[in-house]
């Protein structure tokens, strides 16, 4: 039997899909290169906004009813059995805590089961380290360290799709990192909805403690983590990062808005000035530190003054990159009951203005690198330009250059040209 996994959404969904592949390959099923030749299609779905949620149903609609369709991930967790009322044929719905049972579910489908659903939440951490063959990259290894969220930001569906926070023991995290180091991975990314809220399940170790142990015990050039919640910032983290050079000098720190009034309505537990203070503390302790962020525009009640505060925050923070979206009401969230006060056209205007400003900031900062030589990690060969490779800097800037150096190698590159979203360079050396 062959299967195909289509993954939508965040890195945690990518890591879950790696685990699903591992479980199915361990059961003797074969991954097919495309949907057409697969007997079973597993859609690991995303519910963070309405659009990605609706996307999966148009995706399913293209398949003949002969195929077995399994909807997994966040849409499965939110919609549960309602999915069977949709116009498309689905055979099984598997929630975010139940995909570990994918082997059993396949057996049920083989025995002729249709319209099955497994969507219970579990407080149990399911320990599973995917085989290298099941991972989406041979360069970057994803390691989930916690799952779920206790915050309930008023716009966010994650607490309803991923459940309450649960944490993976430090020993298991170290074991997986050790395995990846032995498999010559060059960077690891610690995953969680609120990684900086991780603590040892049955102890008092904090995220900073965990990161210190990892950085000292695991020989991997770049240790990264995503996503950090500003409200959980711990000064000890600064100290650990400053003292351990193998922790990448980049943090994704979603601000969401530059207006303290809107942050309050979003039920984010920090103000604009508190957020700015954290970033400035980081920059004082580690001057080369870089940041990226997320922003929502058009949140209920957002005035043009609030929006201008968001724009001025971008100018002040000089982010490496920003993910920005128009507010999308989500089921079960407290904001869904708020009146939508920002007309769609205004929200769109604000989104485009924000993205234009951020592109200008990136272009200006990228241009300052022309003539400089920076260290990058080669993550792939360029699909359209033979002989070219795609690399990333420590702060996730994309750098393209011609090279025969193997993927997964660090290189020193002299920057020769800059755009808003990428840099061009010439390789001057290989870093072993
Ligand atoms: S911290 Fe807020 S935005 Fe982040 S996952 Fe939790 S509820 Fe969602």
- CATH architecture entry for 132-367: Alpha-Beta Horseshoe (3.80)
pLDDT tens track for 318-361: 999 999 999 999 999 999 999 989 999 999 999 999 999 999 99
pLDDT at position 87 is: 83
Q: Nearest C-alpha to atom 4 of ligand 1 is from which residue?
A: 193
Query: Mean of the per-residue pLDDT values for the chain?
Result: 96
**What's the helix, strand, coil split of the chain in %, to 5?**
35, 25, 40
Q: What is the dihedral of CA 70, 72, 75, 79, to 10 degrees?
A: 60
Please, which residues have CB within 8 angstroms of residue 138's CB and are 6 or more apart in sequence? 132, 185, 407, 408
Read off the pLDDT band of 86 (50, 70, 90): confident
Considering the chain, what percentage of its residues have pLDDT values greater than 70?
Answer: 100
Q: Outline which parts of the chain fall under CATH 3.40.50.12160.
A: 2-118
pLDDT at position 432 is: 56
Q: Which residues on adjacent β-strands are paired with residue 31? A: 3
| Residue among 11, 115, 117, 9 nearest 56 (CA) | 9
Q: Are 272 and 260 in contact (CB under 8 A)?
A: yes
Is the minimum distance from the CB of 423 to ligand 1 under 6 angstroms?
no
Q: Is the pLDDT of residue 312 over 70?
A: yes
Read off the pLDDT band of 26 (50, 70, 90): very high
Bridging pattern class, strands 116-118 and 92-94? parallel
Mean pLDDT in residue range 216-227: 96
CATH class of the domain at 2-118:
alpha beta
Q: Outline which parts of the chain fall under CATH 2.40.50.140.
A: 373-430
Q: Outline which parts of the chain fall under CATH 3.80.30.20.
A: 132-367
> Which of 77, 96, 147, 194 most suits a substitution to test ligand 1, by most atoms within 8 Å of the C-beta?
194
pLDDT tens track for 107-135: 999 998 878 999 999 999 999 999 999 99
pLDDT tens track for 247-293: 999 999 999 999 999 999 999 999 999 999 999 999 999 999 999 99
How far does the centroid of ligand 1 lie from the alpha carbon of residue 351, in Å?
21
Q: Are 364 and 318 in contact (CB under 8 A)?
A: no
Domain 373-430 has CATH 2.40.50.140: yes
How far does the centroid of ligand 1 lie from the alpha carbon of residue 303, in Å?
23
């Amino acid at each position: 039997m062959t299967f195909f996994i289509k993954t939508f959404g965040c890195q945690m969904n990518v890591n879950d899909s790696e685990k699903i592949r591992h479980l199915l390959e361990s059961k003797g099923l074969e991954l097919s290169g495309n949907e057409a030749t697969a007997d079973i299609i597993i859609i690991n779905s995303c519910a963070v906004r309405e659009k990605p949620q609706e996307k999966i149903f148009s995706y399913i609609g293209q398949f003949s009813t002969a195929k077995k369709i399994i909807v997994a991930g966040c849409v499965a967790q939110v919609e549960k059995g309602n999915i069977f009322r949709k116009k498309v044929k689905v055979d099984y719905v598997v929630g975010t805590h139940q995909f570990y049972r994918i082997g059993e579910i396949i057996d049920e489908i083989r025995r002729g089961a249709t319209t099955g659903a497994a969507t219970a939440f579990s407080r149990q951490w399911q320990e599973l380290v995917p085989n290298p063959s099941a991972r989406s990259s041979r360069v970057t290894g994803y390691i989930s360290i916690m799952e779920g969220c206790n915050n309930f930001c008023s716009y966010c569906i994650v607490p309803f799709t991923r459940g309450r926070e649960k944490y993976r023991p430090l020993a298991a995290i170290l074991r997986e990192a050790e395995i990846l180091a032995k498999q010559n991975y060059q960077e690891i990314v610690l995953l969680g909805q609120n990684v900086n809220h991780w603590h040892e399940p049955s102890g008092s170790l904090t995220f900073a403690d965990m990161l210190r142990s990892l950085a000292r015990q695991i020989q991997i050039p770049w240790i990264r983590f995503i996503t950090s919640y500003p409200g959980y910032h711990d000064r000890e983290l600064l100290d650990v990062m400053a003292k351990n050079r193998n922790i990448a000098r980049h943090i994704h720190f979603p601000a969401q808005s530059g207006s303290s009034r809107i942050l309050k309505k979003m039920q984010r537990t920090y103000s604009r000035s508190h957020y700015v203070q954290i970033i400035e503390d980081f920059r004082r302790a580690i001057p080369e530190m870089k940041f990226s962020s997320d922003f929502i525009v058009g949140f209920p009640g957002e005035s043009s003054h609030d929006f201008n505060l968001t724009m001025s925050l971008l100018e002040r923070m000089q982010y490496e990159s920003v993910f920005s979206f128009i507010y999308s009401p989500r089921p079960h969230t407290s904001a869904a009951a708020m009146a939508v006060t920002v007309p769609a056209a205004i929200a769109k205007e604000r989104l485009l203005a924000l993205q234009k400003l951020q592109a200008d900031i990136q272009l200006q900062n990228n241009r300052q690198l022309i003539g400089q030589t920076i260290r990058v990690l080669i993550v792939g060969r360029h699909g359209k330009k033979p002989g070219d490779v795609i690399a990333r800097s420590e702060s996730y800037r994309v750098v393209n250059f011609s090279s025969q150096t193997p993927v997964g190698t660090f290189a020193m590159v002299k920057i020769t040209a800059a755009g808003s979203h990428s840099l061009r360079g010439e390789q001057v050396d290989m870093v072993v």
